[in-house]
């Protein structure tokens, strides 16, 4: 099993590290974020990448039409007031990995990368993330599939400093939705209410 690189998630605090777990389970081996097989699915450090910046080492910024021509197929994406083709700011593409990151004027980012066929069944370890996040993440149906949904600005579990109890500190993470659609792992995130991010993700096709 491969784990995804630490450079795609723009959040801070322990919650961002936990979220990486579900992305690690679905990252394709040829992704620019894939690492050599490791028993440690969660990277030790998570460099922060703002949602409006290029997340790829060798990514190129282009129009959505050029991005689809470059990758040779339709790019799954939302169609809503907050995120549609009419308000795209950036489309970063990594041709070598068949991956793309779309950033919208509203602050929504949609990140797509090929699914790693690890033989597992949905929801791809989502339950473990829900448990690790102390209930901040939930599993719900989005765009017709099971998705991991996490609200922004996790307040922590209130146990830091308590002897013998796991501490999950507060985090200023964005709201996000992680799901599998067809052959792609999709992450939708933004510093917006989680209901808005879910509504956008629900229109992806």
Assess contact for 171 and 14: CB atoms under 8 A: yes
Of 64, 6, 76, 13, nearest to 35 by C-alpha is 6
Write down the pTM of the prediction: 0.75
**Sign of dihedral through CA atoms 82, 83, 86, 91?**
positive
The per-residue pLDDT for range 104-144, each reduced to its tens digit, is 999 999 999 988 655 455 555 788 778 777 667 899 999 99
Phi then psi dihedrals of residue 4, to 5 deg:
-75, 150
**Residue 67 predicted with pLDDT over 80:** yes
CB burial of residue 123 (10 Å; 0-12, 13-18, 19+): buried
């Amino acid at each position: 099993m491969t784990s995804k690189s630490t450079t795609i998630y723009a959040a801070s605090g322990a919650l961002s590290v936990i979220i990486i777990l579900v992305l690690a389970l679905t990252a394709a081996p040829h992704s620019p974020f894939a690492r050599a097989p490791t028993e440690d699915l969660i990277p030790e450090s998570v460099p922060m990448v703002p949602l409006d910046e290029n997340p790829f080492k060798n990514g190129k910024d282009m129009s959505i039409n050029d991005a689809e021509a470059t990758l040779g197929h339709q790019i799954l994406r939302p169609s809503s007031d907050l995120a549609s083709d009419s308000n795209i700011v950036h489309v970063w593409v990594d041709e070598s990995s068949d991956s793309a990151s779309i950033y919208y004027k509203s602050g929504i980012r949609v990140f797509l990368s090929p699914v790693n066929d690890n033989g597992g069944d949905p929801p791809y370890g989502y339950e473990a993330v829900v448990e690790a996040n102390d209930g901040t993440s939930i599993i719900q149906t989005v765009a017709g599939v099971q998705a991991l949904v996490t609200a922004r600005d996790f307040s922590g579990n209130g146990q830091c400093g308590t002897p013998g109890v796991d501490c999950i500190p507060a985090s200023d993470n964005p709201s996000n939705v992680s799901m599998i659609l067809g052959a792609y792992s999709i992450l939708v995130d933004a510093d917006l209410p989680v209901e808005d991010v879910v509504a956008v993700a629900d229109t992806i096709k």
